[in-house]
């Protein structure tokens, strides 16, 4: 409504200006026609001329003689057009006057417009002033414009109501969907075939619901896995603790049971430590202390530290390490190499082969670790970095694995803005390709 009110005043102003311009042009033409008709009629009756022209054209016509005296006023209501001496003299001198009569209250309005034209009769100069009487036309134009705008308002309101209904219906559906999401129901799905902003918003909410559902399922699985990982050693500790209460137990069995309790306690300790480490790494402000160091020397050091493990299985270690220096957190990356090498040793059969290669390419350090183990099924490659995920659950449980090692590796690599890829061909063996930027983030 505000826009229509503004449009009314702007349109009125615009069309009044146009009407004024057209009226001015028409007045000049009409004035010249009056003068031409008088000159062709060979009459000296100026008063009759003014009266006939005023009545015929619905104009006010006033003629002034060369002395500035007004010929008897003629035209509509016999109202005299009062002009100043300067205005009259300007026309008598041959000028064409465009303006308003003396004392016009509404400046710039079409009904205030007046045109003055000079002409001669028997070598005497006269000034012809013409003023249109278009107040009724202007009034009708205003009424017409108001009527048109009211019609536009009614039709526009109808279309707005229809459009609002078209817009509000999906918004109500989206509101209901968000309420369900707030209550924890992530199965919501809003149907929409629209391609506009509402359609994009609907797609975004559906994607958000799906992602929240996936995260909620991951949370539930995480809690279940933690409970399972904790419950298993606790059950063993509880069972063997009760067995130790048997006074008839011989020394060999007592030492065996105590050894199992110690191993299960260490397993719980490692699980707790890994959980805390993973939680800390996922925290945005986890401590990060990068500096330049030799990556090849770090890999050799980690491999030497793991020697008792790979030597006990008589594994063959092939090293091909170029001299590469990177900028990174040495302690965090040390954990990466320990986890990856431990996994390779764990899943490589006796007398198998483990190959570690390091080279610099472009702006990355590329570490490739390959073992000759049984490999990983192709359908499970995308899941191995999830917390508590185990490819071979039976072997992992027997070897004390919790399924957190690769999750920690992935998080540390992400912190270093690197990339990790796992390749496992059908014939067996697994290759882990890890890329780290030579210039890490500071």
Span 160-218, pLDDT tens digits: 888 777 777 788 888 888 888 888 888 888 887 778 788 888 888 888 888 888 777 77
Residue 226 lies in a domain: yes
In a domain, 334, yes or no: yes
Report CA dihedral (15, 16, 18, 22) to the nearest 10 degrees.
130
Q: Tell me, yes or no, if the pTM score tops 0.75.
A: no
Q: Which value, in Å, is the radius of gyration of the alpha carbons in the chain?
A: 50
Domain region containing 129: 2-133
Six token digits for residue 26: 């028409």
- The confidence score (pLDDT) of residue 366 equals 92
- Please tell me what DSSP assigns to residue 391: S
Residue 210 and residue 302 in one domain? no
For residues 293 and 424, membership in a common domain is answered with yes
Q: Indicate if 350 and 397 belong to the same structural domain.
A: yes
What is residue 196's DSSP assignment? S
CA dist 110 and 121 (Å) reads 30
In this predicted structure, the answer to whether residue 224 has a pLDDT above a threshold of 90 is no
67 and 30 in a common domain: yes
Let me know whether 195 and 116 are in one domain.
Answer: no
Is the pLDDT assigned to residue 410 strictly greater than 50?
yes
Please report, for residues 254, 315, 327, 329, the alpha-carbon distance to residue 323 in angstroms, rounded to integers and kept in the order given: 52, 25, 14, 18
Percent of the chain residues past pLDDT 90, beyond the cut: 6
Of 109, 133, 157, the last residue of a domain is 133
Does residue 233 share a domain with residue 182?
Answer: yes
Does 432 lie in the same domain as 324? yes
> Mean pLDDT in the chain?
78
Domain membership of residue 442 (yes or no) is no
Distance of CA 169 to the CA centre of its chain: 23
| Per-residue model confidence as pLDDT tens digits over 26-59 | 778 877 877 777 666 655 666 666 655 555 556 7
**CATH number for the domain harbouring residue 36:** 3.30.450.20
The percent of residues above 70 in pLDDT, for the chain, comes to: 77
Distance CA 289, CA 416 (A): 11
Side-chain-facing half-sphere of 67: CA atoms under 13 Å: 3
Q: Is 78 a residue whose pLDDT tops 70?
A: no
Confidence of residue 286 (pLDDT cuts 50, 70, 90): low
At 332-370, the pLDDT tens digits run 898 889 888 988 888 888 999 999 999 998 888 999 999
Cα–Cα distance for residue pair 333/329, rounded to 1 Å: 6
The confidence band for 396, taking pLDDT boundaries of 50, 70 and 90, is very low
Asked if residue 238 and residue 311 are part of one domain, the reply reads no
Q: Are residues 246 and 296 in the same domain?
A: no
Residue 297, pLDDT above cutoff 90: yes
- The CA-atom distances, in angstroms, between 346 and each of 119, 373, 388, 403 are 119, 9, 17, 13
Contacts of 219 (CB under 8 A, 6+ apart): none
Closest listed residue to residue 403, CA positions, set 314, 296, 288, 270: 270
Give yes or no: residues 294 and 427 share one domain: yes
Based on the structure, what is the number of domains in the chain?
Answer: 3
* Residue 399 pLDDT exceeds 60: no
Burial call 70-89: b when 16+ CB within 10 Å, e when fewer: bbebbbeeeeebebeeebbe
């Amino acid at each position: 409504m505000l826009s229509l009110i503004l449009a009314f005043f702007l349109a009125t102003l615009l069309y009044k200006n146009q009407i004024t311009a057209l009226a001015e042009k028409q007045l000049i033409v009409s004035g010249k026609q009056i003068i031409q008709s008088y000159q062709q009629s060979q009459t000296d009756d100026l008063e009759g001329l003014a009266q006939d022209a005023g009545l015929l054209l619905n104009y006010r016509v006033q003629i002034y003689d060369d002395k500035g005296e007004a010929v008897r006023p003629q035209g509509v209501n016999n109202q005299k057009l009062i002009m100043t001496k300067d205005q009259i003299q300007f026309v008598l001198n041959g000028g064409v006057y465009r303006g308003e009569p003396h004392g016009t209250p509404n400046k710039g309005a079409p009904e205030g417009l007046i045109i003055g034209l000079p002409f001669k009769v028997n070598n005497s100069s006269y000034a012809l002033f013409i003023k249109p009487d278009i107040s009724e036309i202007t009034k009708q134009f205003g009424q017409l414009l108001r009527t048109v705008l009211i019609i536009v308002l009614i039709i526009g309101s109808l279309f707005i109501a229809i459009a609002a209904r078209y817009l509000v219906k999906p918004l109500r559906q989206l509101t209901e969907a968000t309420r369900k999401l707030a209550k924890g129901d992530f199965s919501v799905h809003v149907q929409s075939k629209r391609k506009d902003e509402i359609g994009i918003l609907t797609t975004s909410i559906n994607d958000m619901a799906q992602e929240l559902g996936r995260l909620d399922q991951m949370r539930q699985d995480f809690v279940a896995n933690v409970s399972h990982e904790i419950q298993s050693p606790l059950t063993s500790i509880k069972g063997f603790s009760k067995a130790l209460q048997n006074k008839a137990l011989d020394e060999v069995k007592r030492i065996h049971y105590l050894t199992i309790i110690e191993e299960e306690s260490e397993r719980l300790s490692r699980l707790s430590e890994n959980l805390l480490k993973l939680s800390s790494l996922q925290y945005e402000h986890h401590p990060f202390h990068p500096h330049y160091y030799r990556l090849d020397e770090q890999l050799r050091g980690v491999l030497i530290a793991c020697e008792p493990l790979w030597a006990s299985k008589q594994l063959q270690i092939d090293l091909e390490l170029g001299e590469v220096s990177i900028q990174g957190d040495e302690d965090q990356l040390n954990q990466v190499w320990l986890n990856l090498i431990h996994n390779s040793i764990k899943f490589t059969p006796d007398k198998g082969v483990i190959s570690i290669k390091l080279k610099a390419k472009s702006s990355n350090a590329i570490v490739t670790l390959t073992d000759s183990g049984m490999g990983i099924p192709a359908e499970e490659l995308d899941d191995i970095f999830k917390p508590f995920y185990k490819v071979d659950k039976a072997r992992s449980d027997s070897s004390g694995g919790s399924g957190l090692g690769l999750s920690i590796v992935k998080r540390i690599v992400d912190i270093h803005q690197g990339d990790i890829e796992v390749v496992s061909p059908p014939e067996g063996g697994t290759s882990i390709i890890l890329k780290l930027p030579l210039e890490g983030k500071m």
